[in-house]
Structure 1
Amino acid sequence: MEAYQTWSVKSRPDKRVKTVCERVGCPQWRSGWESVIDESTPLGRDQAAFIRGSRRTFKEQHTAAGLTVFRFEPYQRCFADHQTMPEKYLVRGGDYRATVGELRVHTRAADWVEHVQQHMGRLLDERAKG
């Protein structure tokens, strides 16, 4: 077993990709949100039609001032286009001064963390054996 491994996370600051609300911690996704629309204007009528056709879950109410309030439930995609920088989760054999062995690339953070935990568990087992 290789005792020395280098664990790193890399991203390119010049490359952004579209991502989902949950990944960026969108507060609208987490808590829901309201959109207040004035349907007496052409823009407001277009916005309301877009919302009604959006397949999102909401409750519709009308105010005394004649505005339409759309209350959206949490845990659904909001209307923003979120972006993030894609990350690579790397594991290299050897320490930071010399790379030996293979390079492993995880695409999900959860897989990388699990790999770290498994490796640390093996090291602790070896140490306990003496």
Structure 2
Amino acid sequence: MNRIEPTMPVTAYKTYRILSPLSTHFRPATCAQAECDAHLNGWRSTIDESTVLGQQQAHYIRSQSGRRFVEERFESGLTRFEFEAGQECFAGGHQVRLDRPEHYLLADGDWRGNPTRRSRALRPQDWINDFGEHQQRLADQLERG
């Protein structure tokens, strides 16, 4: 990751974060629940059956996937499978958000560390107010030079 090198010590910075952890704010979901594009619109998968992996994938699609499709084979060894909408996609792992509030966190320091080890959770309005006041202090200092 490329970062601009800070011009001040780590103690001069604050880190504001809003978190919605996967483990507490999301749950597994079906394609329909997640409004997956493939489920809504259908999708195409092009498989290279000239390779062992491609042959295995095509065999799975044809005989084990349980999905509805139309296939088109090409002389190049490629096969295009076109799946109709309304089916579970192959990607899986969909998640939908639970109705839980985000965590609003404020910590001393920046990406280099938190020298005071101080970190606290704030109410959303307090986080917004602190963030705004901090931005205003920075703007005022910049204007003064």
TM-score bracket for this pair, using the shorter chain length: 0.5 to 0.7
Q: Which runs of 4+ in 1 moved over 4 A?
A: none
Letter aligned with residue 13 of structure 1: S
Deviation of the 1:37 alpha carbon: 0.3
Aligned position for 2:73: 62
Q: Which residue of 6, 15, 20 corresponds with 1:13?
A: 20
Q: What residue number does 1:84 align with?
A: 96
Secondary structure in 1 matching 2:85: coil
User: In structure 1, which of residues 36, 57, 61 is the aligned counterpart of residue 46 of structure 2?
Assistant: 36
% identical equivalent positions: 42
**What letter matches 1:78 in structure 2?**
C
RMSD, matched Cα: 1.8
TM-score by length of 2: 0.48
Q: TM-score, normalised by structure 1?
A: 0.53
Q: When the two structures are aligned, how many residues end up with a matched partner?
A: 77
Q: Distance in 2 between matches of 1:59 and 1:34?
A: 10
1:22-80 CA deviation, whole Å, 9 max, x = no partner? 12221111111110000111111111122121000001110232211111011111011
Cα separation, 1, equivalents of 2:58 and 2:87:
18
> Which residue among 37, 46, 59 is the counterpart of 2:56?
46
Higher Rg: 2
Instruction: State the AA in 1 paired with 2:96.
Output: T
Contiguous gaps of at least 5 residues in structure 1: 1-11, 89-130
Q: Distance in 1 between matches of 2:41 and 2:74?
A: 22
